[in-house]
Amino acid sequence: MADLLIRDAVLPDGRAGVDILCDGGRIAEVAPRIGASAARTIDAQGMLVSPPFVDAHFHMDSTLTYGMPRVNASGTLLEGIALWGELKPTLTQEAIVDRALVYCDWAVGKGLLAIRSHVDTSDPRLLAVEALLQVRERVKPYLDLQLVAFPQDGLLRSPGALASLKRALDLGVDVVGGIPHFERTMADGAESVRILCDLAADRGLRVDLHCDETDDPMSRHIETLSYHAQRLGLQGRVAGSHLTSMHSMDSYYVSKLIPLMREAGVAAIANPLINITLQGRHDGYPKRRGMTRVPELIAAGVPVAFGHDCVMDPWYPLGSGDMLEVASMGLHVAQMTGRDAMHQCFAAVTSTPASILGLEGYGLAQGCRADFVLLEARDPVEAIRLRAARLAVVRAGRVIATSAPSRAALDLPGRPPAVDWMASRNGLAPTAAP
Ligand code: FE2
């Protein structure tokens, strides 16, 4: 007998009436009306089963520290970095681990089962690195945590930063990070990109740089990153995170840049919740949105993921690990309200980041890992619209979290006793087929 059978699901690609059979932690079969039986059966009642949410960009060492030791008064990236610098000397490994484990619980409850987290390697004690390596092991049974060695204070700007970053990689951190726009000069920024890409090529690692997180249209480190990705044959293994300067760049220059990124196999990771709040802070009106050019990148064939980046930390006071909230903000900021575009926003928090992270066995095909989420929605667009309840979160064929359906009891004369926001339950047409 198999472990788990899901009956009558809709998949993100629009296939309906699908059963999913799970056995030994893998998906054994995906087909209509599977004849086998299982130890546990869940009737999806025509609702959406999606592979788990994936966050391509997060900071788990700073999460849940909001207000410590004070809040970010200006709301800028640079004050956030300064504030994090004030907080760092007071951190303990135990406190970082405790907060990270709480955040991972939140993530699991929201069906978020894979996170790429940057970890600050500036502190020569590597306190945060050791803490998150420990967390990576502890959460492994239920959440894939991929770590990026991130020299928050600059690779060349901060003495000893390169040595600390290399030690973090020696300890088992997965990906090479950087922050070229925070180096002292554009030239130093470009040099840091070269050093980091060479290092990644030598060690066979992926690269994910905080890149051009600024409103300065002349911040063009993404061009340098694409150049080195191409030079070193790192296609498909390199991501530029944030890329907010692209919002402000001259469009003629961008018409050259995006094909370079495509040719170099560089992915883009936008962080809509954070950049809509951090960017444009020096502007009068009109204020720039400060998110990278998402639809144009996707149209050119550049993979684009949306990351959460921050939850309750020196840069952002809100958030709950809900990647549907992230997708919704990305959709709004990029004005991606077209039918295909809305589905692309769902992919930006599921399949696209899964491929950027290189997750093994991700998806809903036979042989994939039996990891998925049953959402209270009929399709990905409705899931985004409702931030749909995660009715069941499944990892390796086992239900690891459940939520109640979203309802409000009503007490109105002549009206139904409860509100249900799903379109189909109100006799309305579905929001969108793929
Ligand atoms: Fe970040």
Interatomic CA distance for residues 115 and 253, integer angstroms: 33
Q: Which domain holds residue 108?
A: 53-357
Q: How far is the CA of 334 from the centre of ligand 1 (A)?
A: 19
- 348 and 336, same domain (yes or no): yes
Tell me, yes or no, whether 21 and 114 share the same domain: no
Q: Within this chain, do residues 253 and 397 fall inside the same structural domain, yes or no?
A: no
CB atoms within 10 A of CB 206: 22
One domain, residues 64 and 181: yes
User: How far is the C-alpha of 25 from the C-alpha of 23, rounded, in Å?
Assistant: 5
Are residues 168 and 242 located together in one domain of the fold? yes
**Peptide linkage before 180 cis (omega within 30 of 0):** no
Last-in-domain residue among 301, 336, 357: 357
Task: State phi, psi for 294 to the nearest 5 degrees.
Answer: -60, -55
**Residue 130 maps to a domain:** yes
Residue 434 clears pLDDT 60, i.e. is over it: no
What are 48's two structure tokens?
A: 């959406």
**pLDDT exceeds 90 at position 44:** yes
- Span from the CA of 275 to the centroid of ligand 1 (angstroms): 10
Residue 434 included in any domain: no
Does residue 178 belong to any structural domain of this protein?
Answer: yes
Same domain for 339 and 377?
no
What average pLDDT does this structure show over 5-27?
A: 97
432 in any annotated domain: no
- Does residue 433 belong to any structural domain of this protein? no
Distance 179 CA to ligand 1 centre (A): 9
The burial class, CB within 10 Å (0-12 / 13-18 / 19+), for 130 is middle
The number of distinct structural domains making up the chain is: 2
Ligand 1 center from residue 58 Cα (angstroms): 6
Looking at the domain assignment, is residue 229 inside a domain? yes
Confidence band, pLDDT 50/70/90 cuts, at residue 427: confident
Predicted confidence band of residue 286 (pLDDT cuts 50, 70, 90): very high
For the chain, percent of residues with pLDDT exceeding 70? 99
Phi, psi of 101 (to 5 degrees): -65, -40
Residue 381 included in any domain: yes
- Reported as a pLDDT band with limits 50, 70 and 90, residue 432 is low
Both 90 and 172 in a single domain? Answer: yes
Q: How far is CA 200 from the centre of its chain?
A: 21
* CATH code of the domain containing 28: 2.30.40.10
Provide mean pLDDT across the span 123-133.
96
Mean pLDDT value across the chain: 96
Q: Does 431 map to a domain?
A: no
pLDDT bin (cut points 50, 70, 90) of residue 224 is: very high
**H or E element at residue 318:** none
Using the mean position of ligand 1's atoms as its centre, give its distance from the Cα of residue 241 in Å: 7
* Structural tokens at position 171: 């300890």
Residue 403 CB burial class (10 angstroms; 0-12, 13-18, ≥19): middle
DSSP states of 225-270:
HHHHHHHTT-TTSEEEEE-THHHHS-HHHHHHHHHHHHHHTEEEEE
Residue range 385-409, pLDDT digits in tens:
999 999 999 999 999 999 999 999 9
DSSP state of 406: P
pLDDT for residue 433: 58
Q: Same domain for 184 and 43? A: no
Average pLDDT over residues 248-259: 98
| Structure tokens that stand for 373 in this block | 């989420």
Does the active-site annotation cover 213?
yes
- In the structure, what pLDDT confidence band is assigned to residue 428 with cuts at 50, 70 and 90? confident
187 CA from centroid of ligand 1 (Å)? 22
The residue annotated as part of the active site, out of 213, 223, 325, 376, is: 213
The sign one gets for the Cα dihedral 224, 225, 231, 236 is: negative
Last residue of a domain, one of 325, 357, 389: 357
Name the one residue in this structure whose structure tokens are 């040595």: 163
The verdict on 280 and 405 lying in the same domain is no
Query: DSSP of 257-311, one letter per residue?
Result: HHHHHHHHTEEEEE-HHHHHHHTTTT--SSPP-----HHHHHHTT--EEE--B-S
pLDDT in tens, 341-371: 999 999 999 999 999 999 999 999 999 999 9
Name the strand (E) or helix (H) holding 347. helix 339-347
* Shared domain check, 63 and 34: no
Kindly report the CATH number assigned to the domain that includes residue 272: 3.20.20.140
CA of 319 to the centre of ligand 1 (A): 14
Asked which of 357, 382, 403 is the last residue of a domain, the reply is 357
Do 170 and 253 sit in the same domain of this protein?
A: yes
Are 299 and 368 in the same domain? no
Q: The whole model's pTM is what?
A: 0.97
